[in-house]
Amino acid sequence: MVAGNWKMNGNSSLVTEFENAFNEITFDFDVLICPPSPYLNLFKSDSLATGGQDVSEFDSGAHTGDISTSMLKEFGCKYVIVGHSERREDHGESNALVALKAKAAINAGLIPLICVGEPLDVRESDTVEAFISAQLDALKDNLSVAEFEQSVIAYEPIWAIGTGKTATPEQAQEVHQFIRGYFASIDSELAQGLRILYGGSVKPDNAQTLFAQPDVDGGLIGGASLKVDDFVSICQAAN
């Protein structure tokens, strides 16, 4: 899977550029773009799926600014990112809230891309596994094996997001292997089938070595998903 996260970037012309490119080219794995929600309805191409960048844990009601699972579905989304570090930081989203959002998404038939990842001080103090475990524990407390089977995990070290500092393929593999091992202790078949994406400064020139790691099943792409040529190159690397 290769997923693009436009964050609060892009416009309707960029949608058209992506639509035109992906009308010409298809990949036999899942490719999706998560644009800002006002642009979701402009994506029509069958070869490019869409996802929300966040979703409410509630079905409807007095939650100004939030978007529900059914709204995302009505606008054709198959996926939604939950727990992105920018949501956790800018909007104070806790591990427990992220788990509720993932559950709401799954219950509505959306596939959540659940983000986990450590900040720089955690990486430097060598406590990455404990930090990631705490994020995963909150998910485990709320989601069943069957629900995890409908989920994708994205490992995004915060120090590598938008910084140009990519985790080395070895650093990425180490954490991906740890995450797969964590799920293996819940259910071995679940762990084998689970897609674990890497995110954090993935570019055309580093995508192939990252994706070649045994436990890296694709990427969640921020900056490079805003340039159609770069995004297509990353998809080709995944191919």
Q: Is 89 in the site for ligand PGA (CB under 6 A)?
A: no
* DSSP per residue, 179-237: HHHHHHTT-HHHHHH-EEEEESS--HHHHHHHHTSTT---EEESGGGGSHHHHHHHHHH
**Phi and psi of 122, rounded to 5°?**
-70, -45
Q: Is 202 in the site for ligand PGA (CB under 6 A)?
A: yes
**In angstroms, rounded to a whole number, what is the distance separating the alpha carbons of residues 66 and 83?**
14
Is residue 176 flagged as an active site residue? no
Q: Is 10 in the site for ligand PGA (CB under 6 A)?
A: no
Interface of this chain with ligand PGA, residues 210 to 239, rule: CB under 6 A? 220-224
Interface of this chain with ligand PGA, residues 142 to 161, rule: CB under 6 A? 156, 161
| Amino acid letter, 214 | P
Indicate the residue among 3 and 40 with the shorter CB distance to ligand PGA.
Answer: 3
Least Å distance, CB 120 to ligand PGA, is 14
Indicate the residue among 38 and 162 with the shorter CB distance to ligand PGA.
Answer: 162
H helix or E strand, kind and range, residue 101? helix 95-107
**Pattern 159-198, binding to ligand PGA, x per CB under 6 A?**
--xx------------------------------------
Least Å distance, CB 41 to ligand PGA, is 22
Q: Is 80 in the site for ligand PGA (CB under 6 A)?
A: no
Which residue of the set 84, 86, 93, 118 is catalytic? 84
Is residue 84 flagged as an active site residue? yes
Q: Is 206 in the site for ligand PGA (CB under 6 A)?
A: no
**In angstroms, rounded to a whole number, what is the distance separating the alpha carbons of residues 77 and 170?**
33
The upper half-sphere exposure of residue 216, i.e. CA atoms within 13 Å in the direction of its Cβ, equals 28
Least Å distance, CB 199 to ligand PGA, is 4
Tell me the number of residues near ligand PGA by CB under 6 A.
13
**Phi and psi of 211, rounded to 5°?**
-70, -20
Which residue of the set 57, 93, 118, 156 is catalytic? 156
User: Which among 77, 221, 166, 12 is positioned nearest to 232, based on CA atoms?
Assistant: 221
Dihedral (Cα; 202, 162, 10, 197), 10-degree rounding: 40
Of positions 35, 157, 200, 218, contacts ligand PGA by CB under 6 A: 200
Q: Which residues does the annotation mark as catalytic?
A: 84, 156
Contact positions vs ligand PGA (CB under 6 A): 5, 156, 161-162, 199-202, 220-224
